[in-house]
Amino acid sequence: MDFNSKEPIYSQIIDDIRTKFINGTYELGQEIPSRRELAKTLGVNPNTIQRAYKEMEDMNLIVTVRGQGSLMTRDAGMLQALRQEATDRAVRECVEVLRAMGNSDTDILDSLKAYLEGSKPL
């Protein structure tokens, strides 16, 4: 994992685990790496991993069970909400860029439809 200097490392770790949950790399109820294991793998301070896991527990994204480790939530509704949030963010960012380029909403819709249908965009 490559870290950027614009945001805290613990936040980037949370984003990475959230993304892996959304895209199916981590499934509902699946065990995730231990704090020590992840700290070693990523080459970061264990306290950074501890903070990330604590934040994810507070978000109900993971659950830590003594003797079993940390597991992704089993809440399918949360997974769906995270997917919808990520989709909405991606669409919003895409539309903002296309509008800034001077495209009308009609042009954007036409291009998206053409792309999804497999034909060349206008």
Q: Indicate the domain borders of the chain.
A: 9-74, 77-117
| pLDDT of 122 strictly over 60 | no
| pLDDT of 106 strictly over 60 | yes
| pLDDT of 105 strictly over 80 | yes
9-74 to CATH, choices 2.60.120.10, 3.30.920.30, 3.30.1130.10, 1.10.10.10: 1.10.10.10
| Total residues belonging to the chain | 122
* CA gap 119, 46 in Å, rounded: 49
pLDDT tens-digit readout, 61-101: 999 998 889 999 999 999 999 999 999 999 999 999 999 99
Average pLDDT over residues 2-17: 95
Residue 121: band (very low, low, confident or very high) from pLDDT cuts 50, 70, 90: low
Residue 52: band (very low, low, confident or very high) from pLDDT cuts 50, 70, 90: very high
